[in-house]
């Protein structure tokens, strides 16, 4: 990963110290760039889409917004992958089942300790 954007660290998209300029430099030097955008990163750039059942704000889709910004400013080939379905839509294997069991047991133990 060449650039990882998370909500806990503010960043700028445009300008000489922005992410787009950094990506432009990566493309010039190594020919490709891998950028990871965490859910919740850069919410000041996208509109919040109401609230969920718990009253928490529904986060805007920074991934699609950032993809459009890259395509318009750099005119490069952008492959956008939203892993939401891939992460949640696969069948659990034995390792996943054991790990979930251990995590659940540790959570229950921690709650009652």
Model pTM score: 0.67
Between CA 113 and CA 13 the distance in angstroms is 45
- Which of 58, 17, 65 is CA-nearest to residue 37? 65
Q: How far apart are CA 97 and CA 102, in angstroms?
A: 9
- How far apart, in whole angstroms, are the C-alpha atoms of residue 69 and residue 13? 9
The pLDDT tens digits for 58-102 are 887 888 889 999 999 998 889 888 877 666 667 778 998 899 899
> Rounded to whole angstroms, how far apart are CA atoms 6 and 79?
20
Question: Kind and range of the H or E element at 20?
Answer: helix 19-30
């Amino acid at each position: 990963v060449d650039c990882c954007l998370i909500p806990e660290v503010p960043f700028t998209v445009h300008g000489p110290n922005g992410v787009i300029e950094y990506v432009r430099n990566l493309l010039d030097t190594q020919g490709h760039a891998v950028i990871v955008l965490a859910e919740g990163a850069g919410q000041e750039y996208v509109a919040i889409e109401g609230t969920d059942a718990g009253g928490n704000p529904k986060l805007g889709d920074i991934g699609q917004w950032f993809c459009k910004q890259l395509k318009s400013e750099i005119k490069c080939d952008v492959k956008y992958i939203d892993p939401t379905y891939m992460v949640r839509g696969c069948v659990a294997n034995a390792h996943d089942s054991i790990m979930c069991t251990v995590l659940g047991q540790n959570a229950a133990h921690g709650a009652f300790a």
